[in-house]
Amino acid sequence: MNSKAKVAPVVKKATVVQLPVKRAPRLKRVVKRGIRIREASETHIRYFYAGYKLGAFKEQIDGTDMTAIEFTDALTQYTEPFTHLFTSDTGEEKPLCLGVGKLEENRLEIHNIWMPWATPRNKLESTIAFYTEYNRWYTVITTIFEEALPFYNHVRKYGVVRLVGEIRDFNEKGTVYIFQGVKK
């Protein structure tokens, strides 16, 4: 017999494929390494001058041909009442960043000047340590330009900052983004 029995179509059940979930970065792990935040002092001027010679202060202080004394005078005129620096716990007292800001009541507006020898990991750890520490007492506000946006978007994943606004066509550099520290 040549008759073929009709076979009902086989319906396969949809299988759920479990994709690997990207876990959120661990704040505890980043803060553990030890970044010290302290006030800048006269002993750190030689490191700031070395950073100036390597181009760290190009947006704040004009020229790169100042002597150490001229640079010290220009730096003291530029820095505002709130001046802190970040150093790593590697045993060396070499500053990674100079945080310059304006403190009004409970609001702290901060701008970081990174030294050329600060690694991306140093920058991440310092920024997270700063926000973790100072969000307790102040509303910390940072304004950045577009070139620093990928970095701050990464810092947002740790839950210490949030994007609160942007100002388009602010100046010749373009858009300015405003980040605020998140209180825990």
What residues pair up with 112 in beta bridges, in sequence order? 99
Point out which residues pair with 95 in neighbouring strands. Answer: 87
pTM recorded for the entire structure: 0.75
Pair 131, 140: CB distance under 8 Å: yes
Q: Is position 153 within any domain?
A: yes
Per the CB < 8 A criterion, the answer to whether 167 and 136 are in contact is: no
101-108, Cβ contacts within 8 angstroms, sequence gap of 24 or more: 103/138, 106/137, 106/138, 106/139, 107/138, 107/139, 107/141, 108/82, 108/134, 108/138, 108/139, 108/140, 108/141
- Domain extent, residue 105, equals 27-181
Residue that is written with structure tokens 């507006």 in the block: 109
Within-domain flag for 21: no
Most confident of 3-12, 35-44, 55-64, 155-164: 155-164
Cα distances (Å, whole numbers) of residue 122 to 44, 103, 117, 119: 18, 25, 9, 5
**Could you read off the pLDDT of 51-99 as tens digits, one per residue?**
888 888 887 777 668 888 888 888 877 766 556 667 766 666 778 888 8
For residue 170, being part of any structural domain is answered with yes
Note whether residue 55 is domain-resident. Answer: yes
Residue 12 has pLDDT above 60, yes or no: no
How many domains does the chain contain in total? 1
Task: Please indicate, yes or no, if residue 31 is contained in any of the structural domains.
Answer: yes
CA 84, 86, 89 angle in degrees (round to 5)? Answer: 145
Residue 102 domain-assigned?
A: yes
Nearest-10 Cα torsion for 106, 33, 85, 71? -160
Contact criterion met (CB below 8 Å) for 132 and 31: yes
170-178 mean pLDDT: 84
CA pair distance 95, 147, nearest whole angstrom: 23
Is residue 141 assigned to a domain?
yes
42-52: average pLDDT: 85
Looking at residue 69, which CATH number applies to its domain? 3.40.630.30
**Residue 20 within a domain:** no
What is the rounded average pLDDT for all residues in the chain? 79
Tokens of 68: 């150490």
Residues paired with residue 162 on neighbouring β-strands, in sequence order:
180
